[in-house]
A and B are shown apart, each in its own frame.
Chain A
């Protein structure tokens, strides 16, 4: 049981100051920009909610948002079941466990722009391993820079490559925490593999899978560097995800007002969907 102690604030203060410095000041800057118009020279004019209305009505924003949701949906629907399946088939003890875990975690420790560059080299049509294999061995006409479908398949495969291990590691951590006695009991009862999964393994993995889904949602929804390096949003605008579009508006066109308004809408959507996931997934615990 925790004790009531207001002095605990002194322990939290350094964290609060550092994070607030990094979070609140830039956030206020964004809020400032989002309600003003500027023509340079540090001259600002009050604009109210004009930028918000403009962004919410803009076709371009709707298209980018749609692509973003499609991307995140594909990521979750592929990575979560795949991660669970791999975790289930992993050895539980012995020499190979750390070897598997280290090798699986490796992609997550590669800087994100290197991941993009690596997949770019890997997918080059004539001189990349993947591109060469698809074009010259399987005879599929594959060129990521020309064909939107190929570009989409490539960025999704890249993300599966990059982040499925996170789900594997989380699910695996949940699995190894199940005592052997549970499995023995299931064996005595003559439970099928499916019921072992459904009634023993899945409930035990629930809390870690909640973390996995939340992390994968937030990170795939905010993804920027890897697809930007890999496709640059192209061909055309076909892989321009929300953050890529945002950076184009903010730094490419220097439209600070609309970019700031878009940032806030973007952040609000991420917060809302994360909260929704969290509430839905932990609802049973409350009852």
Chain B
């Protein structure tokens, strides 16, 4: 083994430590957690997980989160695809300014917008729906999706478009049957990023929901305050929120480095 491979190993070890601690804690009984330090669960229990999977107010939190995250990913990709195509292929009035303005929306702190978002979505009657959260997350996910897709589309030679038109393809047919399959890695990466940022963002999601569309995060806060400090339950709920991320990242594992570089290497 080379000496330099020690660096990534140590780094990954450091990354795994807090995650290990969270997972280990989720299998401990409340008594064991509070009575002192133990590196491994002494009395292994699934109690916390049973509570989460049998109590609707817990498992609906997960279902709600997954619904609005999927909805957001679908909307973001659907509208970002034609826009990214326009930015990568055409020059039009105000294109650079528009592109920059889109990116500035990633700079606005969500904390700034929490209250106005609440008022806006209450006014249009969408408060406490999955659609409200999905639309609100478009604020930062659409610009990101446009940026990533534009990067991947820039790598496709323009001759592809021209050949297709010469062959008599209409634009929609070319776009759907030739162009999108050509950049499917880019679409996958963009969808992954939309999923990721919508999944991890909770401030807006919490502000825009009350009961019907409440994300798992809000349920966790409730537990932390009302039922004393049920660390085991909190740890189990936290552990379960890591799993969807781990699953989606597995699908894009081969594109992950290029994807994080927004297709620009």
List 19 contacting pairs A-B, 8 Å CB cutoff, sorted by A: A3-B91, A11-B83, A19-B102, A89-B8, A98-B254, A100-B8, A106-B19, A109-B242, A114-B217, A118-B21, A130-B21, A161-B18, A165-B15, A169-B260, A218-B106, A224-B110, A224-B203, A251-B115, A270-B107
Which chain A residues numbered 1 to 55 have a C-beta less than 8 Å away from chain B?
A: 1-9, 11-12, 14-16, 18-19, 21-23, 25-27, 29-30
- Is residue A191 within 8 Å, beta carbon to beta carbon, of the partner chain? no
Q: Does more than half of chain B's interface fall in helix, strand or loop, or is it mixed? A: helix
Q: Assuming the A-B contacts A100-B12, A102-B253, are A243 and B109 also in contact, with contact meaning beta carbons closer than 8 angstroms in the complex?
A: yes
Q: Assuming the A-B contacts A15-B83, A211-B264, are A161 and B116 also in contact, with contact meaning beta carbons closer than 8 angstroms in the complex?
A: no
B191-227 CB contact bits vs A (8 Å, 1 = yes)?
0000010011111000000000000110011001000
Q: Assuming the A-B contacts A106-B242, A170-B261, are A91 and B109 also in contact, with contact meaning beta carbons closer than 8 angstroms in the complex?
A: no
- Is residue A150 within 8 Å, beta carbon to beta carbon, of the partner chain? no
Q: Assuming the A-B contacts A4-B92, A19-B102, are A225 and B203 also in contact, with contact meaning beta carbons closer than 8 angstroms in the complex?
A: yes
Instruction: Give A contacts to B, CB under 8 Å.
Output: 1-9, 11-12, 14-16, 18-19, 21-23, 25-27, 29-30, 85-86, 89-91, 98, 100-114, 117-119, 121-122, 126-130, 132, 136, 161, 164-166, 168-170, 172-174, 176-177, 207-208, 211, 218, 221-222, 224-225, 243-244, 246-247, 250-251, 256, 263, 266-267, 270-271, 274
User: In this complex, what residue of B is CB-closest to A256?
Assistant: B115
Q: Check B265–A105 contact: CB distance below 8 A.
A: no
Q: How far is the CB of B218 from chain A (nearest CB, A)?
A: 9
- Is residue B79 within 8 Å, beta carbon to beta carbon, of the partner chain? yes
Residue of B14, B108, B199 touching A161 (CB-CB under 8 A) = B14
Q: Which residues of B contact A177 (CB under 8 A)?
A: 265
Instruction: Give B contacts to A, CB under 8 Å.
Output: 4-8, 11-12, 14-22, 25, 33-34, 36-37, 39, 75, 79-80, 82-83, 85-87, 89-93, 95, 98, 102, 104-117, 119-120, 135-136, 138-139, 142-143, 146, 158, 196, 199-203, 216-217, 220-221, 224, 231, 234-235, 238, 241-242, 244-246, 248-250, 253-254, 256-258, 260-262, 264-265
